[in-house]
Structure formats: C-alpha cells, structure tokens
C-alpha cells in the first residue's frame, strides 16, 4: 500500500479548551497535511514541511478548503435500534416496551442482524463517525454480526451482547448463567480481533436480577481490562422502579457500586438525575457519565448538567453520544447542537471548541484510547473526517459573514449534518465515497 498525503485545514485538540480564547488547547494548520503510512499518521503539520518528508510515489489528496479532523466518536449507541428511531412514545419505559423490545427480538436471526450491521456502519461513515461504543441485542448473533462487519471495515469498535433476564419479552431474555456464558463466548471470539473491543453490558438494573448482576460482577473481575456499559438515572419513573427492585441500595448508582461495576472503564448512559452523593461516587470511581442530548430531549428524559458536572470540586468525567434509537440523529454535529441547546436551557454556555474537543479527543480520553484515536498526532490511526462548513446553500451564505475558526465550527455544529461530511477515512482509507443510496454497499 502506497503512502498518502492528505492536504487540508488541520484541527486537533491537545486538551479540553477552557474558553473560546483558549488557543493553546488545539492545533490548527491552515495549509496543513497528514502523511499516512500503514494506516497511521507518520507526519503532520504545515503542508510544505510534511510534503518534504514524503516519497515521490506518495498519493496526494487535496481537501482544501475543508477541515480535517480526527474521526468522530460516539460513546453510546444501540445497534438493534436502527428501525426504532422516530417511534412516537411519551417516555422511556413506554418507548422500551412498545417499540424497542419487540424490535430487538428480531436480532435472534443472524440474516437480519447481518443486514442491519451493514446499514449501521454505512450510516456511521456517512456521518463521519469512525468509532462507536454499542449495545447489541441480548442475542449472541447480534454481537457476531456487529463485530464481523467492524472487521470488514477495519473500524475501532466497542460492543457488547446485552445481558437482561427480567422485565422484557421472552424472546429478549437470557438468564444469569447464559448472560455470563455468552458474554464469555463473545469475548473469546471477538475481543482483540481486528480493532474490536468487547464491553460487559448489563442493560440496566430494571432488566437484570441480582443474580445476573453477580454474573456481571464475576465477568468484571475476570476481565478487568474490559469496558463495562449500562444505563443510569435517565427518567424519574425508571429511577422509582429501580429503587423498588433494589431496596437495599442507597440510590441507583449504589446498585452498580455494590456489584463492583463502577470503575474507570465504566460508561453510564444518561446519568441525568444524579444526587450529589452519586456524582461524588462517580467522580471517585472515575466512571464516565455519557451525555445523549438528542435522546434526552426526544424521550423528554431531562436536561443533563454537563457544565456543572465538569466543574464540580469532584468533577465527573463525561462523554457524548447519539443513543440511537432513543436518539434521533446519527450525526455527532447534530448531537452537539442539541447539547448546546440543553446547556442554554440550564443557563450555561457550551463553547464550540469544547464541543469539538468532546466529539474527538474528549471521547477518546473517556475510552482511554487517545494514543490511538481522537487526535491527529503522529502515531495515531488515520481515522479522519473531512468537514465542509458551506455544504448547503444556507450554510454557504452564512459562511460569507464568518470570520473566525470558532464561528465556523459553531455554524457547522448548528446547521451541519451528513451533507457536511465530505469524506471519512478509516486507517487512511476513504470510506464514504462509494456508499450508495437506498441499498447501500458495504464499503469493504
């Protein structure tokens, strides 16, 4: 494979920006380029300087005047919910019981899971997302389809077979023992293959018996390097029912703590309605509260106090995500647009630099993967997104009055969607080009 030189305007974060004026928090190169060799970035910076390091046979791709960013990262998404998006439900529990659980039952069929997996990755690539952390269904077939398709595309993916043994239709239940055995089987088959990572995935306290929580605890002890993902404190009715099911626990967070499920590799979806005690507990454990703004608005779940959680004396680590299909867009740009509006309603400002940090390096740090993804640093995988802030007539018109980089980023976030994604690279390979229309191709 020949090396490639990818030219454009580079933007990559070094750390979390403290304010709009915090220019030290990022690297911006107006006429920049990346040299890519063997799927990784081997040189980065000013075009002429990077070009001087390239061999004569290098393939040069010119994306000027577009922005080159690290591929976007989605830290909470449900693979079997592609055909649940836009279901008309009043709240979380109604949405789960009426639409979501029946739909997930279909993933017992391996043909169905394989077909949806193709579309799942096509949508990610169309939207500039190169890594995601996903829930599969309870069926091992769904995890097999999810990881097989990730390998075909050489994408870095985290996923888990969901463990759930109560409060759902029969076709969606395992048992404590099955949940344990099948998770072990998924680990044995897929963890570390290609760029795949398996996550231990008890869905949430409502759908796992204490016996199954013990099984999840056993897995966490046997495989301390694996991610753990579950849902926490999303909706008031959910919180009330959870307290009835686990009367001995101090609060919702304490349930997961009691089963040894809190740690630095634990991702807790939503975590909207936390008490101070719970926020302290998450902070001390180093666990991640995953903000899913389009989902929280769509299901009417609540307003996640992102800014407040980050600036606590004991700060809570946060990441951002779509939560498809409770979420209503695959786009991380749209996701941060809604995140911005939620902070507005809370009287807070989420500045655009912070948003782009969160979608890239911030989410990579939440996963402990910032040496590999989420930046344009030398040595990083060449997972990239090329963004065009003038991708629609209205955006082009607005661009005429844009003067600064943060203004351009804010326009992209506020009005941009998949049309703003010019190209998506995975390990240096252009993946968006060639994705078809209705019956999309695999891109492999």
Q: How far apart are CA 429 and CA 153, in angstroms?
A: 9
Q: Smallest distance, Å, CB 180 to Fe ion?
A: 22
Judged on CB neighbours under 10 Å (0-12, 13-18, 19+), 414 is middle
- 203 interacts with ligand GUN by CB under 6 A: yes
Q: Beta-carbon neighbour count of residue 236 at 10 Å?
A: 14
Distance in Å, CB of 432 to Fe ion, minimum: 26
Nearest-approach distance from CB 195 to ligand GUN, in angstroms: 25
Q: Identify which of residues 271 and 389 has a Cβ nearer to Fe ion in the complex.
A: 271
The tokens describing 425, both together, are 């690279």
Closest by CA position to 34, among listed 13, 63, 56, 57: 63
Provide the minimum distance between the beta carbon of 140 and ligand GUN in the complex, in angstroms, as a whole number.
18
**What is the footprint of ligand GUN within residues 234-273 (CB under 6 A)?**
234
Q: Which of 141, 208, 295, 319 binds ligand GUN (CB under 6 A)?
A: 295
Sorted by sequence, the CB contacts under 8 Å of residue 97 that are 6+ apart come out as: none
Q: Which of 7, 9, 78, 139 binds ligand GUN (CB under 6 A)?
A: 78
Least distance (Å) between residue 427 CB and ligand GUN: 30
Choose between 44 and 335: whose C-beta lies nearer to ligand GUN.
335
Q: Which residue, 174 or 323, is less far from ligand GUN as judged by CB? A: 323
- What is the number of the residue whose Cβ is closest to ligand GUN? 326
State whether the Cα torsion 299-305-310-315 is positive or negative: negative
Q: How far is CA 159 from the centre of its chain?
A: 11
Residues that bind Fe ion (CB under 5 A): 269, 323
Does residue 329 interact with ligand GUN by CB under 6 A?
Answer: no
Binding residues among 80-119 for ligand GUN as defined by CB under 6 A: 92, 96, 100
Residue 325 or 362 having the CB closest to ligand GUN:
325
Is 231 a binder of ligand GUN (CB under 6 A)? yes
Structure tokens at 147: 């990881």
Query: Does position 326 bind ligand GUN by CB under 6 A?
Result: yes
Which of 286, 248, 292 lies closest to 272 in space, CA to CA? 292
**DSSP output for 260-296:** T--STTEEEEE--S--HHHHHHHHHHT-EEEE-HHHH
- 235: tokens are 């909706």
> Please, which of residues 172-201 interact with ligand GUN by CB under 6 A?
none
Residue 219 or 271 having the CB closest to ligand GUN: 271
- Binders of ligand GUN in range 402-441 (CB under 6 A): none
User: What does 140 interact with, of ligand GUN, Fe ion, none (CB < 5 to 8 A by kind)?
Assistant: none
Structure tokens at 436: 């078809």
Q: Please, which of residues 305-324 interact with ligand GUN by CB under 6 A?
A: 323
In the structure encoding, which two tokens stand for residue 208, read together?
A: 């796992």
Q: Are 130 and 155 in contact (CB under 8 A)?
A: yes
Rg (CA), the chain: 21
Count other C-beta atoms under 10 Å from residue 292's C-beta.
Answer: 32
Name the residue nearer to ligand GUN (CB basis): 63 or 231. 231
State which residue, 131 or 295, has the beta carbon closest to ligand GUN. 295
Is position 139 an interface residue for ligand GUN (rule: CB under 6 A)?
A: no
Residue given tokens 């046997």 in the structure block:
222
Which pair of structure tokens corresponds to residue 177? 């023992």
Nearer to ligand GUN, 83 or 414 (CB): 83
Q: Is 204 in the site for ligand GUN (CB under 6 A)?
A: yes
Q: Is 123 or 234 the residue whose CB approaches ligand GUN more closely?
A: 234
Strand 384-387, strand 421-426: pairing? antiparallel
Rounded to a whole number of angstroms, the minimum distance from the CB of residue 207 to Fe ion is 12
**Which of ligand GUN, Fe ion, none does residue 204 bind to, with CB < 5 to 8 Å depending on kind?**
ligand GUN
Q: Is 322 left (phi over 0), alpha (psi -120 to 50) or beta?
A: alpha
* Spatial distance between the Cα atoms of 174 and 4, rounded to a whole number of angstroms: 47
Of 314, 326, 295, whose CA–CA distance to 82 is shortest?
Answer: 326
Min CB(342)–ligand GUN separation in Å: 15
Q: Which residues lie near ligand GUN (CB under 6 A)?
A: 78, 92, 96, 100, 203-204, 231, 234, 295, 323, 326
């Amino acid at each position: 494979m020949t090396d490639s030189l990818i030219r454009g305007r580079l933007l990559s974060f070094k750390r979390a920006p403290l304010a709009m004026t915090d220019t030290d928090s990022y690297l911006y190169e107006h006429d920049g380029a990346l040299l890519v060799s063997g799927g990784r970035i081997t040189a980065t910076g000013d075009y002429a300087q990077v070009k001087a390091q390239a061999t004569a046979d290098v393939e040069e791709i010119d994306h000027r005047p577009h922005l080159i960013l690290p591929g976007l990262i989605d830290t909470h998404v449900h693979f079997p919910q592609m055909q649940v998006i836009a279901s008309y439900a009043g709240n979380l529990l109604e949405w789960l019981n009426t639409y979501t659980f029946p739909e997930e039952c279909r993933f017992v069929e391996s043909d169905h899971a394989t077909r949806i997996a193709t579309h799942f990755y096509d949508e990610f690539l169309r939207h500039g997302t190169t890594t995601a952390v996903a829930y599969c269904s309870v069926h091992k077939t769904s995890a097999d389809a999810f990881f097989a398709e990730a390998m075909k595309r050489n994408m870095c993916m985290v996923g888990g077979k969901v463990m759930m043994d109560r409060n759902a239709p029969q076709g969606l239940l395992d048992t404590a023992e099955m949940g344990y055995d099948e998770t072990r089987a998924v680990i044995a088959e897929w963890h570390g293959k290609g760029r795949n990572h398996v996550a231990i995935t008890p869905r949430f306290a409502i759908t796992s018996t204490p016996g199954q929580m013990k099984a999840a605890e056993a897995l966490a002890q046997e495989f301390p390097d694996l991610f753990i993902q579950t849902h926490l404190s999303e909706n008031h009715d959910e919180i009330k029912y959870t307290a009835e099911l686990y009367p001995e626990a101090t609060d919702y967070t304490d349930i997961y703590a009691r089963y040894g499920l809190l740690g630095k590799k634990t991702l807790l979806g939503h975590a909207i309605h936390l008490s101070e005690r719970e926020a302290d507990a998450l902070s001390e454990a180093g666990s991640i509260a995953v903000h899913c703004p389009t989902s929280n608005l769509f299901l009417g779940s609540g307003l996640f106090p992102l800014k407040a959680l980050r600036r606590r004396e004991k700060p809570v680590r946060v990441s951002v995500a779509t939560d498809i299909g409770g979420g209503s867009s695959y786009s991380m740009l749209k996701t941060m647009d809604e995140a911005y509006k939620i902070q507005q309603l809370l009287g807070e400002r989420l500045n655009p630099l912070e948003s782009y940090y969160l979608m890239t390096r911030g989410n990579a740090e939440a996963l402990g993967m910032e040496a590999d993804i989420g930046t344009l640093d030398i040595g990083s995988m060449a997972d990239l997104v090329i963004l065009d802030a003038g991708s629609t007539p209205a955006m082009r018109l607005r661009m005429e009055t844009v003067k600064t980089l943060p203004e351009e980023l804010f326009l992209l976030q506020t009005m941009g969607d998949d049309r703003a994604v010019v190209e998506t690279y995975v390990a240096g390979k252009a993946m968006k080009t060639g994705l078809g229309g209705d019956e999309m191709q695999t891109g492999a």
